[in-house]
Each structure stands twice: as structure tokens, then as C-alpha cells.
């Protein structure tokens, strides 16, 4: 590789690190992505001069197809649909890593080289292929193309079997170190099917963990393929993402108090063992305008948004309501649970879209002690993340998950469409508590009514 190209890759790697570092503060985050974008541009342009390459026209056509399509879809997508777009682009990255391995394996070049590179190419191909098909399934589920969490009986056995077959095929490719098309095809096919079957049974509320995991996996796949073809920019960028993504994944899993294996392999909500002792009593309901006026006359309100807010597109009305509260000198804060929504950071995006400044948004650790002193907490479309059973009921499937202490506020208000249970199928005793009032209705309508009520004061 010529030194000028090496230098460009080096600059790109530095820009990626600087960019990622800048992304760890909301003030500089936007600059960070521009730095990283510049790095990407430098590396891509340099690659055109790599030397010994053909098919430039095909290459440019492919870049245009992928780039223009993604540019267009990325510009057009609504903020509420961000999780599936992130899943889709991530899957494409995984697929691309698998394609590199495909070309290398079918050409027989890696087999001819040292065993180390062959192993990396095959492992990267496996991870990339699983991330590709898995992310596409996650996309389809989030997009609503696949409504049910499909569970086949003996799922674990089938998945385990597929995993073993894919690994054996991969090992055979390494051991034989020769070119067998059938073997390579079978290896890719089994890896792809495995990604599909692993992702199928995973429910919507686990999506933040899954998306984050596939992101980390794509990063690793890119790094491995970078080793296999000797490309330092790919090694460094891929490893960075692999590490950062793993950190984020473990954070997500911890926020649900479940291990990664549990998220991936348990049929969560499939076996309802602990339904015997549901909470007793009546839900009290409150009129939206009463709820709005009561909060306007209080001094401290904490708002807990969840996926229901995204579904109802209620963020704009909610922010309008919050601004009215602020005019009445109410101290308002937003409390966000790490796994609220369908991807890490889903709620931040929606609140930012509505115009909520990020210094009003707080972490679970930052804000949890404040619930005890707040006059009102307003839960909007969240359920399991505020269920006190996670603290008290050992038999509950969500037992041990850190929750927002809404039940400790003086008055809890819960906006909810109906009386049903949450994703986990667990009744929420918060809804039956003495100091809780339910405000039934579509989140957006309820917010509009609360706004109207305060304006009439």
C-alpha cells in the first residue's frame, strides 16, 4: 500500500477517535459526527487510489445506489422511526463485512495465506452475517411488518444446533484451507438463518439491548475483516465501535437487570408463572383537565416518558404543556430510564425533536432520590420501568430491574391508553396505589386537554 494512502487511513483513524470522543458531551456531539464524517471521506477517497484495482465504474455505481438510497431514506424518516433505521443501516454494515469475507473466500486468496488471517476472515464473516440478518429482522419488527414475537417450541435446541453447524462449517473451511463453493455457501446460509431465528422471538421492550448488541457485533466483524485484508482504518474504527458498543450493550442489559444471554435466549413473557398474586384494589381515574390544573398549582413535577409517548407522537404537545407549567413557576424535570423506548437514547431524540433542552433531561441515578420530594410525577406511556414489583416481588419476571421511583412521589399521575398490562404481562401495582391517579386516553389527546385546561385558568 502506498504511503500516502497509509497516511490518509491514519488521519481517518485519528478523526474517528476524536469524533467519538466529542460525541461524549452533548455540547460537542454534533462537531464529533462531522469530524468522523471527514475521516470517512478521507479514507474513502484515498481508497480509489489503492492501486491494482479494477471495476471502478461498478464501484461508483454501487456507491451511488447505496449512498443515494440511504441519504434519501435517512432524510425522510420520522424521528419516531429512528430505531428501525439505525437497525437497518447497522445490518447493512454487517452484511458488507460478510461480503468482504465472501469475496476473499471465494477467490481462494485467504485460504492460500496464513491461517491467522483465514480464521479472522471466517469469524468476521460469521459475526457479520448474523448481525446482518438479525438486524434486518429487528428492522422488520420495529417497522411493524412482523407483529408477533414468534416462538417455535424447542427454539433453543434449534438455535444451538444451527450455531454448532455454522461453527463446524467455518472450522472446516479453515481446516481444509481449500476452495469449496458448497462449503462456503452452506456456511453463510447457516449463519444468516441463525441471525433470523435468534432475533425472531425477542420482544419489543428488549430491542434497545438487541440493537446495541448488533451494533457492537458489526463493529467487531469490520475489525476482523480489516485484519484479514490488512486495512488499519477498518481495524481501528471497527474495534472502537466494538468496544464502545459492548459497553453500551452491557449498560442496557444492566438497566434491565438481565444478562445478555437472558435477553437473547429466554422466552420473556412466554411463561407466566407469577400471575397468582396480582395487586388488589381499584384504579382511580382522573380527568385530564383536573390533572393538568393540579400540576400547574404544584411546585415540582417529574415526567417519565416511555414508548407510549412515541407511539402517540405526544412529545410536541407534552413540551407545550411543560412550557405552560414553567410559566406557572413549576420546576419540571424529565426522568429517562435507560431502556425506555426501542433503542438506546430513543426518548432523548423525541424530546429533542419537540424542543426540550437536554439539561432538563436526567438519568435514573441523577433523579431517583428526587421523586420523594416531587409534588407530582407524570408517567406518559411507560409501564414496566416504573413497576415497584421490580423491587419487591421476587417471583416477578422483572424483579431486580432498577426502576424510577414514581411510587415514592406524593402524587403519581399515569397517562395510559387502557387498563392492560405492560410488555412483560405483569400487572403494575403502581396503578393501584393509594397516591396514584390514572388518566386514561391517548397520550397526545390527554396532553392537548391538559394544555387547554391550563390556558383557560
Partner 1 sequence: MITGFIALYIFMLAAFTGYEVISRVPVILHTPLMSGSNFVHGIVLVGTMVALGHAHGPLELAIGFVGVILAAGNAVGGYVVTERMLEMFKSSKGD
Q: Per CB under 8 A, which of residues 191..250 are in contact with partner 1?
A: 211-212, 215, 218-219, 222-223, 225-227, 229-245, 247-248
Considering only 3, 27, 394, 420, the residue that binds partner 1 (CB under 8 A) is: 27
The label of the residue with cell 393538568 reads 292
Helix (H) and strand (E) counts in the chain:
18, 6
Q: Is 26 in the site for partner 1 (CB under 8 A)?
A: yes
Min separation Cβ 200 and partner 1, Å: 22
The interface region with partner 1, picked from 13-21, 156-164, 306-314, 425-433 by CB under 8 A, is 13-21
Among 80, 93, 296, 414, binds partner 1 (CB under 8 A): 93
113 to 119, 187, 366, 391: CA distances (angstroms): 11, 20, 53, 56
Q: Give me the DSSP letters along 74-135.
A: HHHS-GGGHHHHHHHHHHHHHHHHHHHHHHHHHHTHHHHS-HHHHHHHHHHHHHHHHHHHHH
**Which of 85, 123, 318, 453 lies at the binding interface for partner 1 (CB under 8 A)?**
85
Q: Can you read off the three cell numbers belonging to residue 266?
A: 429466554
CB count in 10 Å sphere of residue 70: 14
Q: Judged by CB under 8 A, does residue 173 bind partner 1?
A: no
Q: Considering only residues 301-340, where is the footprint of partner 1 by CB under 8 A?
A: 336, 338
Closer residue to partner 1 (CB): 12 or 403: 12
Interface region with partner 1, contact rule CB under 8 A, candidates 72-80, 157-165, 306-314, 414-422: 72-80
Q: Count CA atoms closer than 13 A to 186's CA, side-chain side.
A: 16
State the nearest-atom distance from the C-beta of 69 to partner 1, in Å: 6
**CB 33, min distance to partner 1, A:** 5
Is 384 an active-site residue?
Answer: yes
SS3 69: helix
Among 203, 364, 408, 435, binds partner 1 (CB under 8 A): 364
> CB of 430: closest distance to partner 1 in angstroms?
21
Pairing of strands 331-335, 361-362: parallel
Q: Between residues 10 and 440, which has the closer beta carbon with respect to partner 1?
A: 10
Selected binder of partner 1 within 175, 323, 358, 369 (CB under 8 A): 358
Catalytic residue, candidates 206, 290, 384, 442:
384
Of 256, 155, 152, which Cα lies nearest the Cα of 210? 256
Q: Which of residues 39-68 bind partner 1 (CB under 8 A)?
A: 40, 43-44, 46-48, 50, 52-56, 58-59, 62-68
Q: Is 107 one of the binding residues for partner 1 (CB under 8 A)?
A: yes
Is residue 379 near partner 1 by the rule CB under 8 A?
Answer: no
| Alpha helices, DSSP H, located in 298-362 | 307-312, 315-327, 346-354
For residue 334, report the phi and psi dihedrals to the nearest 5 degrees: -105, 135
CB of 215 to partner 1, least distance (A): 5
- What is d(CA 199, CA 405) in angstroms, rounded to the nearest whole number? 32
Q: Give backbone dihedrals phi and psi of 151, rounded to 5 degrees, phi first.
A: -125, 120
State the binding string over 110-149 for partner 1 (x if CB under 8 A, else -).
Answer: ----x-x---------------------------------
Gap between the Cα atoms of 363 and 404, Å rounded: 10
Q: Give CA–CA dist 360/352, Å, rounded.
A: 11
Active site residues: 384
Amino acid at each position: 500500500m502506498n504511503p500516502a494512502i497509509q497516511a490518509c487511513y491514519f488521519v481517518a483513524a485519528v478523526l474517528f477517535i476524536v469524533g467519538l470522543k466529542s460525541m461524549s458531551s452533548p455540547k460537542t456531539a454534533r462537531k464529533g459526527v462531522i469530524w468522523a464524517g471527514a475521516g470517512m471521506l478521507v479514507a474513502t477517497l484515498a481508497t480509489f487510489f489503492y492501486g491494482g484495482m479494477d471495476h471502478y465504474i461498478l464501484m461508483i455505481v454501487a456507491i451511488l445506489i447505496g449512498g443515494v438510497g440511504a441519504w434519501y431514506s435517512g432524510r425522510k424518516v420520522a424521528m419516531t422511526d429512528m430505531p428501525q433505521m439505525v437497525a437497518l443501516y447497522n445490518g447493512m454494515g454487517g452484511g458488507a463485512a460478510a461480503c468482504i469475507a465472501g469475496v476473499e473466500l471465494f477467490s481462494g486468496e485467504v485460504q492460500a495465506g496464513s491461517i491467522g488471517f483465514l480464521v479472522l476472515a471466517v469469524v468476521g464473516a460469521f459475526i457479520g452475517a448474523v448481525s446482518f440478518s438479525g438486524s434486518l429482522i429487528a428492522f422488520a419488527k420495529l417497522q411493524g411488518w412482523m407483529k408477533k414475537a414468534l416462538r417455535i417450541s424447542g427454539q433453543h435446541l434449534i438455535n444451538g444446533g444451527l450455531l454448532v453447524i455454522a461453527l463446524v462449517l467455518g472450522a472446516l473451511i479453515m481446516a481444509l484451507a481449500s476452495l469449496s463453493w458448497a462449503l462456503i455457501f452452506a456456511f453463510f446460509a447457516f449463519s444468516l438463518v441463525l441471525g433470523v431465528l435468534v432475533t425472531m422471538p425477542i420482544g419489543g421492550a428488549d430491542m434497545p439491548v438487541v440493537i446495541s448488541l448488533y451494533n457492537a457485533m458489526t463493529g467487531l466483524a469490520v475489525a476482523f475483516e480489516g485484519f484479514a485484508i490488512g486495512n488499519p482504518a477498518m481495524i481501528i474504527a471497527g474495534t472502537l465501535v466494538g468496544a464502545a458498543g459492548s459497553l453500551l450493550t452491557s449498560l442496557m442489559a444492566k438497566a434491565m437487570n438481565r444478562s445478555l444471554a437472558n435477553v437473547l435466549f429466554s422466552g420473556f413473557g412466554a411463561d407466566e408463572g407469577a400471575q397468582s398474586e396480582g395487586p388488589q384494589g381499584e384504579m382511580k381515574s382522573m380527568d385530564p383537565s383536573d390533572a393538568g390544573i393540579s400540576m400547574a398549582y404544584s411546585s415540582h413535577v417529574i415526567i417519565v416518558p416511555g414508548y407510549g409517548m412515541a407511539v402517540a407522537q405526544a412529545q410536541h404537545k407534552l413540551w407545550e404543556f411543560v412550557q405552560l407549567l414553567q410559566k406557572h413557576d413549576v420546576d419540571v424535570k424529565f426522568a429517562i430510564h435507560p431502556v425506555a423506548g426501542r433503542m438506546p437514547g430513543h426518548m432523548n431524540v423525541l424530546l429533542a425533536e419537540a424542543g426540550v433542552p437536554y439539561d432538563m433531561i436526567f438519568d435514573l441515578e441523577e433523579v431517583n432520590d428526587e421523586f420523594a420530594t416531587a409534588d407530582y410525577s407524570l408517567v406518559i406511556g411507560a409501564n414496566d420501568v416504573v413497576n415497584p414489583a421490580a423491587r419487591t416481588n421476587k417471583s416477578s419476571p422483572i424483579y431486580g430491574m432498577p426502576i424510577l421511583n414514581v411510587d415514592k412521589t406524593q402524587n403519581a399521575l399515569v397517562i395510559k391508553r387502557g387498563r392492560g398490562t405492560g410488555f412483560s404481562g405483569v400487572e403494575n401495582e403502581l396503578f393501584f396505589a393509594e397516591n396514584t391517579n390514572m388518566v386514561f386516553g391517548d397520550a397526545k389527546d390527554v396532553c392537548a386537554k391538559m394544555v387547554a385546561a391550563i390556558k383557560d385558568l
